[in-house]
Amino acid sequence: MAEPTQSDIDAAANRHGLRWLLNWLLVGTRSVMPAAGATGISLVLVIAAMCFLASLALGAALSVAHVTTGWTSDLSGSVTIEVKQSNEMTPDEQVRAILYILSGTKGVKSARALTKEDMTALLEPWLGTGNVTDDLPLPHLIDLRIDANAPPDFIALSHAIAQAAPGAVIDTHRQWQAQLLHAARAAEWLAYAVLLVVTATMVAIITFATRAGLSANREVVEVLHLTGARDKFIAAEVQRHFLHLGFRGGLIGLILSVATFLLLGLQSGTASGETSLFMLPVSGLRPGDYPALLCVPVAAALVAVLTARITVMRTLHRLL
Amino acid sequence: MIRFENVGMRYGMGPEVLRDVSFHLAPGSFHFLTGPSGAGKTSLLKLMFMASRPSRGLITMFGRDIATLPRNDLPDLRRRVGVVFQEFRLLDHLTTYENVALPLKIQGRAESSYRADVRELLAWVGLGERMQARPPTLSGGEKQRAAIARAVVAQPDLLLADEPTGNVDPEMGKRLLRLFMELNRLGTSILIATHDHALVTEARAPELMLKGGRLTVRG
């Protein structure tokens, strides 16, 4: 077998090793700008971390928006009638009378008296399994689903129910709806505010890291300049380099955030199968939301490219 | 082709490193630039490859006044000048082949059009076996030869070399001198800044002598 030549040795040295693989995977950009080195990998990791946080913030904002919409639509179509003890009629007689009235009322889509099992299922998460016993003075509830676009005349309905069932009270949830809506909107604004702060921080850090990366490669820019490269050639090489780095970092951050959301979505904690976090229902991201997260790596790449172009053009204009 | 008239240069508010420098390099000329350390040789070369501006005086490169030249026209002039830097200034992340081919890549030429020429040039300067090596793995002499190859690969109109034989043995130094003379024969003007008096004696070419910032021409 022939001895390897110096050329073979040099070529082999350029190809092998974990370090070469990491460099090729993370920072190889086929540009005249140097790809290898701690600076390039550090930039990719910084961008990945910031994009991970930005993706989480964006996903959380979208998730809160879904929850807000879900809550308000649920409550706006829901009414509860509470039937208490009365000297004149038993609760069951009152329930039958109310259901008869509701069956003929316009705007009522459906009405259902909650059974003992329904009440137990509602209360057990709060009181504990086995603690909902017969001696608890539970009211009888009737769950109404109304047409939110053409609701019934609640004043007339209240009068009719009061005459048929003295112990009945209508709860339209308006008070709770208003408070819940206010809290949900506040949470939504907070989520978007966090997103804004994270985005601004991401832009600032990527800008700084790009300038640092360019500063470390000032010699390359000067040699290209003195060898007769036009400003737009140098800028194009620099832009391509940082576009690749920015997009790779953004993609890594996006993949990590999607994995995080998928893991959260796999958790289940309620009878309805919805995911929950600390006993609060969290609907998580919908399949249609995941494409929206793609804007994060795109934004990261754009910030890196614009910063690189502005910085290199300033550097070149300071040179003769 | 290159004309300096009463050129002066200073760095910041310091004393002038070049004073009333006047000379003319005709097309196809061959000159040495000599002088003691600190005489201003590198500063003069910087003016010639347009990395610095003079404090005063007139510099005309290829018939164009540098002071009034639009910035966008400078790259075209720089492409006509090949430079061998004293500190080589090879790009460590590129292979020897890529470093030498860089001027051609910058000019927008396709690699297939210059691959054979670059390989031939590298073989001629004795780097045929080190094409895939990167500068950190090259010896001082190999780096110097790579820097020279990069400066001449585009067949420039003017070649400026700052101590091009400083890191090579006498035999390679003579070989490089023959390369410069061959380039000169083909029409490239040559200006070599050097302390190597043997080189000056062998070439028997005119000297631009710098001392105390002032230049005199001999030969």
Structural domain boundaries in chain B: 2-80+156-218, 93-154
Residue B89, pLDDT > 90, answer yes
The pTM of the full predicted model, rounded to 2 decimals, is: 0.68
Contact B51 A230 (CB under 8 A): no
> Which tokens in the block code for residue A223?
């040699």
pLDDT, position A256: 93
Residue B74, pLDDT > 50, answer yes
- Domain match, A127 and A242 both: no
- Domain match, A97 and A239 both: no
* A71-80, A160-169, A258-267, B158-167: range with highest mean pLDDT: B158-167
Please provide the average confidence, as pLDDT, over all residues in chain B: 90
Span B105-118, average pLDDT: 92
CA distance A222 to chain B (A): 9
pLDDT-derived band at A38 (thresholds 50, 70, 90) equals: low
> Which tokens in the block code for residue B18?
């070049």
A21 in contact with chain B, both atoms CB, cutoff 8 A: no
Residue A102, pLDDT > 60, answer yes
pLDDT-derived band at B124 (thresholds 50, 70, 90) equals: confident
Q: Which helix (H) or strand (E) holds A305?
A: helix A295-318
Of the two residues A22 and A41, the one the predictor is more confident about is A41
Span B56-65, average pLDDT: 92
pLDDT-derived band at A69 (thresholds 50, 70, 90) equals: confident
> Which tokens in the block code for residue A79?
């009414």
pLDDT-derived band at B57 (thresholds 50, 70, 90) equals: very high
Count of A-B CB contacts under 8 Å: 73
B181-188: list long-range contacts, CB under 8 Å, 24+ apart. Answer: B181/B30, B183/B152, B183/B155, B183/B159, B184/B28, B184/B30, B186/B155, B187/B27, B187/B28, B187/B157, B188/B28, B188/B82, B188/B152, B188/B155, B188/B156, B188/B157, B188/B158, B188/B159
B109 in contact with chain A, both atoms CB, cutoff 8 A: no
Q: Are A134 and A115 in contact (CB under 8 A)?
A: no
Q: Which amino acid is at A173?
A: H
Q: Dump strand ranges (E) for chain A.
A: 78-83, 108-113, 140-146, 168-171, 276-277, 280-281
- In whole angstroms, give the CA distance from residue A154 to residue A142: 15
- In whole angstroms, give the CA distance from residue B40 to residue A307: 38
- What is the CATH number for A126? 3.30.70
Contact A230 B75 (CB under 8 A): yes
Residue A185, pLDDT > 90, answer no
Q: Are B5 and B22 in contact (CB under 8 A)?
A: yes
pLDDT, position A11: 61
Domain end among A166, A200, A224 = A166
Q: What is the distance between the terminal CA atoms of chain A, rounded to a whole angstrom?
A: 55
Contact B51 A11 (CB under 8 A): no
Contact A7 B129 (CB under 8 A): yes
In a domain, A44, yes or no: yes
Of the two residues A12 and A34, the one the predictor is more confident about is A34
pLDDT, position A114: 86
pLDDT, position A272: 40
Q: Are B10 and B55 in contact (CB under 8 A)?
A: yes
Cβ burial A202-217 (10 Å sphere, 16+ → b, else e) = bbebbbebbbebbeeb
Give the Cα-Cα-Cα angle A16, A20, A23 (nearest 5 degrees): 165
Q: Are A204 and A298 in contact (CB under 8 A)?
A: no
Contact B78 A5 (CB under 8 A): no
A5 in contact with chain B, both atoms CB, cutoff 8 A: yes
- Domain match, A199 and A305 both: yes
- In whole angstroms, give the CA distance from residue B78 to residue A176: 76
Of the two residues A183 and B110, the one the predictor is more confident about is B110
Span A230-258, average pLDDT: 87
In a domain, A27, yes or no: no
CA distance B122 to chain A (A): 13
- Domain match, A62 and A194 both: yes
Contact A228 B79 (CB under 8 A): yes
| Cβ-based neighbours of A161, under 8 Å, separated by 6 or more | A81, A98, A101, A168, A170
Domain end among A119, A144, A166 = A166
The model's pLDDT over A211-242, given as tens digits with 9 standing for 90+, comes to 877 777 888 888 998 999 998 888 888 888 88
Q: Which helix (H) or strand (E) holds A253?
A: helix A231-266
Domain that holds residue A123: 85-166
Contact B89 A223 (CB under 8 A): yes
Nearest to A226 among B51, B53, B105 (CB): B51
In a domain, A173, yes or no: no
pLDDT, position B105: 92
Of the two residues B160 and B198, the one the predictor is more confident about is B160
* ipTM of predicted complex: 0.89
A3 in contact with chain B, both atoms CB, cutoff 8 A: no
Provide the number of structural domains found in chain A. Answer: 2
Q: Are B182 and B151 in contact (CB under 8 A)?
A: no
Instruction: Give the chain A residue nearest B84 (alpha carbons).
Output: A227
Contact B89 A14 (CB under 8 A): no
The two beta strands, B2-10 and A280-281, are unpaired
In a domain, A13, yes or no: no
A227 contact residues in B (CB cutoff 8 A):
78-79, 83, 102-103, 106, 150
Q: Which of A65-74, A204-213, B134-143 has the lowest mean pLDDT?
A: A65-74
DSSP-assigned states of every residue in A87-140:
SSS-HHHHHHHHHHHHHT-TTEEEEEEPPHHHHHHHHHHHH-TT---TTS-PPE
pLDDT, position A244: 84
Residues 136-175 of B with CB under 8 A from A: 137, 150
In a domain, A79, yes or no: no
A11 in contact with chain B, both atoms CB, cutoff 8 A: yes
Residue A294, pLDDT > 80, answer yes
* A115-119, A129-133, A194-198, A226-230: range with highest mean pLDDT: A226-230
Instruction: Give the chain B residue nearest A230 (alpha carbons).
Output: B75
- In whole angstroms, give the CA distance from residue A97 to residue B175: 115
SS3 at position B160: strand
B132 contact residues in A (CB cutoff 8 A):
7, 10-11, 14
pLDDT, position B77: 92
In a domain, A19, yes or no: no
B69 in contact with chain A, both atoms CB, cutoff 8 A: no
- In whole angstroms, give the CA distance from residue B49 to residue B161: 11
pLDDT-derived band at A164 (thresholds 50, 70, 90) equals: confident
Strand order through the sheet with B2-10: B16-25, B2-10, B56-61, B64-65
In a domain, A10, yes or no: no
- Domain match, A54 and A130 both: no
- In whole angstroms, give the CA distance from residue A56 to residue A62: 10
pLDDT, position B117: 94
pLDDT, position A12: 60
- Domain match, A211 and A148 both: no
- Domain match, A297 and A193 both: yes
Residue A102, φ and ψ in degrees, nearest 5: -65, -30
Span A171-193, average pLDDT: 77
Instruction: Give the chain B residue nearest A7 (alpha carbons).
Output: B129
- Domain match, A205 and A241 both: yes
pLDDT, position A314: 85
Q: Which of A172-186, A304-318, B30-44 has the lowest mean pLDDT?
A: A172-186
**Could you tell me which residues are beta bridge partners of residue A113?**
A142
Q: Left, alpha or beta for B88 (phi > 0: left; psi -120 to 50: alpha)? A: left
- Domain match, A193 and A263 both: yes
Domain end among A138, A166, A194 = A166
- Domain match, A311 and A184 both: yes
Span A98-118, average pLDDT: 86
Span A164-184, average pLDDT: 77
> Which tokens in the block code for residue B71?
């910035």
Select B2-80+156-218's CATH number: 3.40.50.10420, 3.40.50.300, 3.40.1390.10, 3.40.50.2020: 3.40.50.300
In a domain, A289, yes or no: yes
